[in-house]
Amino acid sequence: MNIAVFASGRGTNFASIIRAAKKGKIKAEIALLVCDNPRAGAIARAKRAGIKVALIKREDFTSKQDFESKIIANLNENNIQLIVLAGFMRMFSSEFVIKYRNRMINVHPALLPAFKGTQGIKDAFDYGVKSTGITVHFVDELMDHGPIILQQAVKIEETDTVEALERKIHKAEHKLFPQAIQLFVDGKLKVEGRKVKIFNPNPSPK
């Protein structure tokens, strides 16, 4: 199976996916990085790992449709079966989402449906909840809304700062995200409405 990772920034989740693939924890080919930011650290990570980069900048296209058409052409060219959003800072059109429905997953730094949006960690911290977490989910037409694959809680200690909480969240992401990807690769995920059924994730030894 060929996977495309989409990233716009430093690419720390992308790096965790690369490491998991090298260790055999993701049994698939990380075939492509799609990036919209020429200054993104993810590009250097891809080059070091020998992963093909498609730098596709929105400002180079007169319409969102043309921008997405270029992305689709790159996905088709590389025979991509799964899209992994690892800090890609753009919303897709409903047409794009429908085309890749149940084949595009995202990680969000909160326990959805709480604290949606780009400031999920800070919003949870500022609200004063005792715990937050991470969510890996399929992408649908709404922001941070699709069927949930895996979630993991992260406790907020009284001594935590926002920066300390961010480090804990990212550490949890780097473990849970590759697990969810491998569940997809293994064909163990079935979407039933807004829910995801996981088939036999931990089989008992015979």
Stretch 63-68: mean pLDDT: 97
Average pLDDT score over residue span 62-87: 97
Residues 64-71, mean pLDDT to the nearest whole number: 98
pLDDT for position 206: 47
Residue 202 banded pLDDT, cuts 50, 70, 90:
low
Contact 116, 105 (CB under 8 A): no
- Give yes or no for residue 119 having a pLDDT over 90: no
Strands ordered across the beta sheet of 52-55: 52-55, 29-35, 2-7, 82-85, 104-108, 131-138, 148-155, 195-198, 189-192
Q: Residue 203: pLDDT above 60?
A: no
Domains in the chain (CATH in brackets) are 1-100 (3.40.50.170), 107-206 (3.40.50.170)
Pairing of strands 131-138, 148-155: antiparallel
Instruction: Let me know: does 73 contact 64? Beta carbons within 8 Å.
Output: no
Count of Cβ atoms closer than 10 Å to residue 5 Cβ = 27
Q: What is the pLDDT of residues 147-188, one digit of tens each?
A: 999 999 999 999 999 999 999 999 999 999 999 999 999 999
Distance CA 45, CA 104 (A): 21
Q: Could you give the residue numbers annotated as active site?
A: 108
Q: Please report which confidence band the pLDDT of residue 16 belongs to, taking 50, 70 and 90 as the band edges.
A: very high
